[in-house]
A and B are shown apart, each in its own frame.
Chain A
Amino acid sequence: MEYFILHFLIMICLYIILGLSFNLLLGNAGMFSIAHAAFFGVGAYATGVITRDLGINFFLALPITFVIAGFIGVLLAIPVLRLSDEYLVIATLGFQVIVYSIFMNWERMTGGPEGLAGIPKPEVFGFVFESQWSYFVLSLCFTALCFWIVWCIQESPFGRTLKSIREDEVCSQALGKDIVKMKIIVFMITSALASLSGGLYAGYVTYISPYSFNLHESIFILSIVVVGGIHKIYGPLIGAVVMVVLPELMRFIALPESVAANFRQMIYAGLLVGFMMFRPEGLVGRGRMEEEKE
């Protein structure tokens, strides 16, 4: 039982990091992308390949992963920057599908559908993060770090500019803000943060396969953010807890495994629809009335 609880706590930490970074994109910059699982996967694969095949320490591999994921984020940002709303959704969705295909088919690097096995656990000065407890502490530290980074970004002039872009792109352009540069930077930061979660995931499960980074995962990350609350930094925290724990409660109802998978998906899809209909600002978001007053 302790094993399961710690497992959930670790997964919640990873999803909080993903939610926080996605929130930077959606909540702060108002850019709606469905490609977050792709960056999650890029982080996992990059860390996996670097630590396993090149034998580089996990903590040295993470910065390299950041650079790779940040670079890929910029690659995505440049063509899709000019797009708005629905077009951005479709283009990032396309990016997600393309990256997933690369995970599936670039067998020499990613191992194809069989995935990447035998990724070493993180190790620092001879201490290996082997036990569940140590890994939980490690991911908690990284989550706190992420939280701090995102908070700093939100409070900085850069964060305020992002908000102004969200509210009125033309107006902030007129005030002399280089919105193209801002958007590229925010894409870079969110993809780097998402890859951090991916790296932690690879080090935790030690076996990764493309199926963990598909389109549904992207939508799941999206649902974490919108259920938690888009504009608040606490939103993804609450969202990750709710969205990870709630479907797992289904395990206590004895359902055959084939049915249970569909049921869990239906629950989270239902939550997504329900929140969008009745409380689009999420659990901790400001109500509509408060929004109008400002």
Chain B
Amino acid sequence: MDLLLQLLVNGLFQGFVYAIIALGFALIFNTTKIFHLAHGAVYTFSAYMTYLFLVVFGIPLIPAVICSMILSGILGALIEIGFYRPMRRWQSSLLVILIASIGLLIFIENGIQLIFGSDMKRLASGMLHATHVGPVTITSLQWATLILGFSMFAALYLFLKYAKVGNEIRAITNDPEVGRIIGIDADRVYLVTMVIGSAMAAPASACICYQTGIHAFMGFHVVLIGAIAVIIGGVGSLIGAGLGAMLIAVAENVGIWKIDSNWQAIIAFGVLFFFILFRPTGFFGHRIWKMKV
């Protein structure tokens, strides 16, 4: 029983990391309508940048993460300006952009492996002090993810609610047509969205650096979890995406209790198929199988 409780707590804390990724993905998907699978590559890139600054250049943790946030924001901006913007101009269908996004993901991942090599990189986890809450052990890293998750969500919420650009993002998300009519520069909004969403990947990937280590092809699984979280949380809802990510993380961790760990990779998709079959409306009642127009 204690084990189950511990796994549940582990899942919840892991959920904060996934939720940050899912939030970035959901923000980009809701606003630009692009299924930005290359977000996985941005995530991997930011992890390697954190590693680079921390280990190779020897910069302390927090400035290193900030540098990595800036760089991944720049990568997001490059993807938007170099690929998505021209394709949007040429009226490519969203599926065509999706395929291009998969191509970008593979390209960047292989580029990273070419530069950094194929071995697993791991940061020394000197910061793991365990606290005991009842029968459950919680490491300081887990507390950090908790704080990070909540603060990222709050910052994003406040930004979207009160900042002028945030309001513009919400307007374009709601209705790009009307947004343009009242004079919002949609291209700029898309760019800002991509930068913010991409930068959000950096803190989450820094947590993963400490937790399990990083390798060049880890992004695909994580971006898929983000995508599934968006789908089961209901498209258009940021809170839904966060909750979806939490649910997947809990399912993955609690799954270890009864299911052989070799099968862990499919648990997220099991959750997805469960939702498709039995609760196709997602958490908050949006239909899964048709996009909101």
Chain B, residues 228-255, CB within 8 Å of chain A (1/0): the string is 1001000000000000000000000000
Q: Assess whether B262 is in contact with A85, with CB atoms less than 8 Å apart.
A: no
Select one of B103, B220, B260, B288 contacting A272, CB under 8 A: B103
Chain B, residues 264-286, CB within 8 Å of chain A (1/0): the string is 01101110110011001000000
Select one of B114, B224, B273 contacting A262, CB under 8 A: B114
Q: Assess whether A87 is in contact with B288, with CB atoms less than 8 Å apart.
A: yes
What CA separation (Å) do A189 and B94 show in the bound complex?
Answer: 27
Q: Which residue of B lies closest to A78 (CB)?
A: B277
Select one of B83, B99, B277 contacting A222, CB under 8 A: B99
B52 to nearest A CB, angstroms? 19
Q: Assess whether B104 is in contact with A86, with CB atoms less than 8 Å apart.
A: no
The interface stretch among A40-48, A92-100, A114-122, A136-144 is A92-100
The interface stretch among B11-19, B63-71, B105-113, B160-168 is B105-113
Q: Interface size (B, Cβ < 8 Å)? A: 47
Q: Assess whether B87 is in contact with A276, with CB atoms less than 8 Å apart.
A: yes
Q: Assess whether A226 is in contact with B99, with CB atoms less than 8 Å apart.
A: yes
Q: Which residues of A contact B35 (CB under 8 A)?
A: 86, 89
Chain B, residues 86-105, CB within 8 Å of chain A (1/0): the string is 11001011111111101111
What CA separation (Å) do A222 and B110 show in the bound complex?
Answer: 18
Q: Which residues of B contact A268 (CB under 8 A)?
A: 106
- Tell me if B263 counts as interface (CB < 8 A to partner A): yes
A261 to nearest B CB, angstroms? 8
Q: Which residue of B lies closest to A219 (CB)?
A: B102
- Tell me if B1 counts as interface (CB < 8 A to partner A): no
Q: Assess whether A86 is in contact with B103, with CB atoms less than 8 Å apart.
A: no
Q: Which residues of A contact B195 (CB under 8 A)?
A: none
- Tell me if A104 counts as interface (CB < 8 A to partner B): yes
Q: Assess whether A32 is in contact with B95, with CB atoms less than 8 Å apart.
A: yes
Q: Assess whether B106 is in contact with A265, with CB atoms less than 8 Å apart.
A: yes
Q: Assess whether A82 is in contact with B289, with CB atoms less than 8 Å apart.
A: yes
- Tell me if A273 counts as interface (CB < 8 A to partner B): yes
B45 to nearest A CB, angstroms? 15
Given known pairs A93-B224, A101-B263, the reply for A87 and B231 (CB within 8 Å) is yes
Q: Assess whether B269 is in contact with A94, with CB atoms less than 8 Å apart.
A: yes
Q: Assess whether B103 is in contact with A101, with CB atoms less than 8 Å apart.
A: no
What CA separation (Å) do A104 and B93 show in the bound complex?
Answer: 36
Q: Assess whether B276 is in contact with A80, with CB atoms less than 8 Å apart.
A: yes
Q: Assess whether B262 is in contact with A90, with CB atoms less than 8 Å apart.
A: no
Q: Give chain A's interface residue range (CB within 8 Å of chain B).
A: 35 or more
Q: Which residue of B lies closest to A258 (CB)?
A: B118
What CA separation (Å) do A276 and B224 show in the bound complex?
Answer: 21
What CA separation (Å) do A97 and B83 show in the bound complex?
Answer: 28
Q: Assess whether B87 is in contact with A277, with CB atoms less than 8 Å apart.
A: yes
Q: Which residues of B contact A215 (CB under 8 A)?
A: 220
Q: Assess whether B272 is in contact with A94, with CB atoms less than 8 Å apart.
A: yes
Q: Which residues of A contact B202 (CB under 8 A)?
A: none
- Tell me if A105 counts as interface (CB < 8 A to partner B): yes
Q: Assess whether B96 is in contact with A94, with CB atoms less than 8 Å apart.
A: no
Q: Which residues of A contact B93 (CB under 8 A)?
A: 280
Q: Assess whether B114 is in contact with A90, with CB atoms less than 8 Å apart.
A: no
- Tell me if B206 counts as interface (CB < 8 A to partner A): no
- Tell me if A91 counts as interface (CB < 8 A to partner B): yes
Q: Assess whether A262 is in contact with B110, with CB atoms less than 8 Å apart.
A: yes
Q: Which residues of A contact B266 (CB under 8 A)?
A: 94, 97-98, 101
Q: Which residues of B contact A105 (CB under 8 A)?
A: 260, 262-263
- Tell me if A205 counts as interface (CB < 8 A to partner B): no
Q: Which residue of A lies closest to B269 (CB)?
A: A94
Q: Which residues of B contact A158 (CB under 8 A)?
A: none
- Tell me if A253 counts as interface (CB < 8 A to partner B): no
Q: Assess whether A83 is in contact with B289, with CB atoms less than 8 Å apart.
A: yes
A252 to nearest B CB, angstroms? 19
What CA separation (Å) do A263 and B106 show in the bound complex?
Answer: 11
- Tell me if A266 counts as interface (CB < 8 A to partner B): yes
Q: Assess whether A85 is in contact with B94, with CB atoms less than 8 Å apart.
A: yes
Given A90-B228, A97-B265, A269-B105, 6 other A-B residues pairs in contact with their CB atoms under 8 A:
A32-B95, A82-B289, A91-B276, A265-B110, A276-B97, A277-B83
26 A-B contact pairs sorted by A residue (CB < 8 Å) = A79-B277, A80-B276, A83-B288, A84-B289, A84-B290, A86-B94, A86-B95, A89-B98, A91-B276, A94-B273, A97-B266, A101-B266, A104-B262, A215-B220, A219-B106, A222-B102, A258-B118, A262-B111, A265-B107, A266-B110, A266-B114, A269-B104, A272-B102, A276-B96, A276-B97, A277-B90
A-B pairs with lowest CB-CB distance, top 10: A94-B269, A272-B103, A276-B100, A269-B106, A273-B103, A269-B107, A262-B110, A265-B110, A86-B35, A82-B289
